[in-house]
Structure 1
Amino acid sequence: MTDITVRALGEDDWQVYRDVRLAALRDAPEAFVASATQEQEFDEEFWRTRMARSRRLVAEQDGTVVGVVSIGRRPGGDERVGELFGLWVTPGLRGQGVAWKLVQAGVDQARSDDFGFVAYWVGTDNGRAVAFASSFGFRPTDSRRPMKNGNSDGEEPDEEMAMIFPLGDDPGSVPSAVV
């Protein structure tokens, strides 16, 4: 496998982010709130505004974007907590360390942005995702919420939990109102 590199996108890279976001929505529509059909209609101003709200990191192989993750602050959330979200890796490279590199870059970005913790919401019934986050060092919390995905078939929504990665010197310190 050719080396995977991860880089942060700037506001002028909005088209790069748009393209990988649309690829993710097409590949895994059940994992996201929006749909590719909705988002492909958004204009440049929308994408630039979205770029300014959070850090966008992409994984690349031979100049091709093969994954994405975002890190930002949840509106109304604890100022010490950065939220990792929108993690996606192209299907052909899953299980080969790309997600790990993206999450590591997201954690590093959160640390340099002076967050004290990183929150990552994971479906409680997604054993693979829970195991991945746990192996990275994220710890489960009691914070739960209904999953916000595009499924609106009338069934009870699945649940997701916040997993926390402390960035400070005391990995046992997790504030009670982190998420």
Structure 2
Amino acid sequence: MNSLNIRVINKKDWAIYKELRLLSLQDSPNSFGSTYEHEIKFSKEEWLSRLDPDNQSKYALPLIAELNGMAIGLTWGVLHSSSDKTAHVYQMWISPSVRGQGVGRLLLQKIITWAKEFDLDYVSLAVSTINVAAVNLYQTTGFEPYGALKSLREDSVLSVQPMRFKL
């Protein structure tokens, strides 16, 4: 890869975040708990609110991957409380044009490193069982299935498999 950069995003990046999030929901509608139809209705204030540290968990790591200045990937690491021993991965998405080139693994490594700084026990996520490429990425990164399958969304027949990485 030429010039790949992974960085934390904040309120000034709201438009980039909105664009990536909506792209992810359109590209991979069977991979997320939310839908494009739901989030396209969000106001600018809602997008800003998601990236406002005063409105989110104090332990959030919203990341984007950029290749030659173009945003190509997104994920969030979240620690729900200071007493929690597990970090959670949400909104993981990589542009189809760069899938399979290691961007997802680099994003996961950033979250794993961040979780180690908090001296946590695990990093967890849930992956759609039909997304074979994502399941493979998580398994080859060291995530293992745990727990029962869950419904992707209340109205969905699709399932997600909880997975976790032992730190």
Q: SS at 2:30's partner residue? A: helix
Larger radius of gyration: 1
* TM-score, reference length from structure 2: 0.83
* Distance apart, 1:114 and its partner CA: 4.1
Q: Residue 67 of structure 1 corresponds to which residue in structure 2?
A: 73
For 2:37 and 2:134, locate their aligned partners in 1 and report how far apart those are by CA, in whole Å: 26
Q: Matches of residues 30-179 of structure 1 in structure 2 within 5 Å?
A: 30-51=30-51, 52=53, 53=56, 54-74=60-80, 79-148=84-153, 152=155, 157-167=157-167
* Distance apart, 1:73 and its partner CA: 3.3
Is contact 2:150–2:159 with CA below 8 Å preserved after alignment? yes
Deviations 1:35-88 (A, max 9, x none): 33432332232123222433210000111100001111358xx81111111111
Is contact 2:128–2:161 with CA below 8 Å preserved after alignment? yes
* Distance apart, 1:125 and its partner CA: 4.1
For 2:37 and 2:147, locate their aligned partners in 1 and report how far apart those are by CA, in whole Å: 35
For 1:158 and 1:106, locate their aligned partners in 2 and report how far apart those are by CA, in whole Å: 26
Kindly tell me: are residues 112 and 48 of structure 1, through their superposed partners in 2, closer, same or farther at Cα, counting changes over 3 Å?
farther
Kindly tell me: are residues 9 and 98 of structure 1, through their superposed partners in 2, closer, same or farther at Cα, counting changes over 3 Å?
same
Q: Residue 12 of structure 2 corresponds to which residue in structure 1?
A: 12
Q: SS at 1:115's partner residue? A: coil
Is contact 1:17–1:56 with CA below 8 Å preserved after alignment? no
* TM-score, reference length from structure 1: 0.78
For 1:80 and 1:92, locate their aligned partners in 2 and report how far apart those are by CA, in whole Å: 35
2:89 alignment partner AA: L
1:79 alignment partner AA: D
RMSD: 2.2
For 2:29 and 2:129, locate their aligned partners in 1 and report how far apart those are by CA, in whole Å: 18
* Distance apart, 1:26 and its partner CA: 2.0
Q: Matches of residues 19-34 of structure 1 in structure 2 within 5 Å?
A: 19-34=19-34
For 2:151 and 2:101, locate their aligned partners in 1 and report how far apart those are by CA, in whole Å: 30
Number of matched residues?
Answer: 160
Identity %: 28
Bigger Cα displacement from structure 2, 85-94 vs 33-42: 33-42
Is contact 2:73–2:93 with CA below 8 Å preserved after alignment? yes
